[in-house]
Amino acid sequence: MRPFDLDLLRSFTVAMESGSLSEAAPRLCRSQSALSEQLRKLEAFTGVTLLERGKKGVRPTPAGERLMVHARELLALSDRALEDVRGVTFAGEATAPELSTPSTACVGAKESANRKRGRYG
């Protein structure tokens, strides 16, 4: 069994929280068509319809609502794991120097895309 793709789960949660693909796409640094394709891939992976698309935006199906619970937990755990290995402290822990992080999510996405294309400059 393959694991969930966290990028697809993040796209799904942002789309559901936004209620609109056109509103969610810029938050994810993607075009609306790329976001729509990601959601189709997630639905194909799960084998169920996760959202209803309409003129008024998108909303989760009952299966989509169930996935949202798990997706939020998985994404939070992933973020916490990354912060932990980077040495970022959590409430109640002894403090340690924090690493600087990009000011926007798009910076990391653009750097990752550039690396994939072979642009390291």
Q: Does the pLDDT at position 120 exceed 90?
A: no
CA-nearest of 4, 34, 76 to 26 is 34
Residue 1 within a domain: no
In this structure, is residue 121 part of a structural domain?
Answer: no
Domain presence at residue 86? yes
Q: Would 105 be classed as within a structural domain? A: yes
Does 13 fall in a domain? yes
Is the pTM for the entire model greater than 0.85? no
Indicate which CATH number applies to the domain containing 40: 1.10.10.10
Q: How far apart are CA 82 and CA 75, in angstroms?
A: 11
Please name the helix (run of DSSP H) or strand (run of DSSP E) that holds residue 14, with its range, or none.
helix 6-18
Query: Average pLDDT for residues 21-49, to the nearest whole number?
Result: 96
**Average pLDDT estimate for 4-13:** 96
Instruction: Specify the DSSP element, H or E, that contains 85.
Output: helix 62-86
Q: What is the predicted pLDDT for the residue at 7?
A: 96
Is 71 contained in some domain?
Answer: yes
In this predicted structure, what is the pLDDT of residue 36? 95
How many separate domains does the chain show?
A: 1
pLDDT band at 43 (very low <50, low <70, confident <90, very high): very high
Is residue 62, in this structure, part of any structural domain at all? yes
Structural domain that includes position 22: 6-91+100-116
